[in-house]
Amino acid sequence: MTTTPVIDATGVTVDLGGTPVLRGVDLRVLPGEFVTILGANGSGKSTLVRALVGLIPHRGSIELFGTPLAQFGDRRRIGYMAQRPDMFSGVPATVTEVVLSGALSRRPRFGWPTRSDRAAAAELIDRVGLSRLAKRPITHLSGGQQQRAHIARALVANPDLVVMDEPMAGIDAHSAEVFARLLGELEERGTAIVMVAHELGPLAPLVDRAVHLEGGLVEYEGPAHGPGTHDHAHDHAHSSEPATTRPVPAEGPLGGQS
């Protein structure tokens, strides 16, 4: 039985302002997999996820759920959380309004949120522990609370793939725990997760596979067992597929991710 990959990207190349940022990256993500993209600043991590969700033009092939990205229309299946979601706005917006706007992937052209959208938003706001702040303007929240609201927005349409760009950056320990619990629940439900990270923290045990970028190329790819166990990662010959056969060095990409 063959499973259609959630993401099947081959030879993804991106130039930004004439500078090559990604140079032929392959990435395959299966349903229910939790893949983390690691690498130094400027290695192309954010560019890769932005290309995967169609935010920047690329060369090479990207298929989502078996459909080429350009033709992919079922946007409800993707939840995206940018590195620094736009938090400043000229006009106030409550946590509920921001989270509820995520449900628009079900009706992106026209239509108001339905009762079930509102119920889903209220439930997610509760799951990220923001019920008490639901009617507050989002700009009144702390950085960690805002990130929790933004993950709730990414999840409110019940996506099958969640793409997150450094969601853990600069958040407090409590928010990190809330994230870990939420992503654990998603994984159990079979949602695929692709997450750019500098530090995995409490998420480390959840991650199935790590992809390490360097200079716009996949430097290492392999299983990730979390801090302290990365040296058990299997060494394999470099190959374009399946993704889990790429080598992970003894001092792998998770080294220092505790």
Partner 1 sequence: MSILSHAFMQYALIAAIITGLSAPAVGTFVVQRRLALLGDGLGHVALTGVALGLLTNVAPLTTALIVAVAGAVLLEVLRSVGRTSGDLALAMLFYGGIAGGVLLTNLAGENAATLNRFLFGSIITMSRTDLAIVVVLGLVVVAATIALRPQLFALCQDEAQARVMGIPVRLYGILIAVLAAVTVTVAMRTVGLLLVSALMVVPVAASQQLTRSFRSTHLAAMGIGLFSAVSGLLVSYQIDTQPGPTIVMIAIAVFVVSSVTNGVLHMRTRQEAPHG
Cα-Cα end-to-end distance for the chain = 37
**In terms of CB distance, is 42 or 108 closer to partner 1?**
108
What is the Cα 41 distance to its own chain's centre? 17
CB of 104 to partner 1, least distance (A): 5
Near partner 1 in 59-98, by CB under 8 A:
73, 75, 78, 80, 82, 85-86, 89-94, 96-98
Min dist CB 94 to partner 1, Å, is: 5
* CB nearer to partner 1: pick between 49 and 224: 49
CA distances from 166 to 73, 81, 133, 144 (A): 26, 9, 24, 12
CB atoms within 10 A of CB 13: 15
Question: With CB under 8 A, what is the number of residues at the site for partner 1?
Answer: 35
Q: Which stretch binds partner 1 (CB under 8 A): 28-36, 135-143, 191-199, 230-238?
A: 135-143
Determine if 135 is a binding residue for partner 1 (CB under 8 A). Answer: yes
Evaluate whether 45 touches 211 at the Cβ level (below 8 Å): no
Q: Is 54 in the site for partner 1 (CB under 8 A)?
A: yes
Please give the Cα distance from 211 to 69 (Å, whole number): 21
Residue among 9, 28, 61, 60 nearest 242 (CA): 28
What residue ranges bind partner 1 (CB under 8 A)?
A: 50, 53-55, 73, 75, 78, 80, 82, 85-86, 89-94, 96-98, 100-102, 104-105, 108-113, 135-137, 153
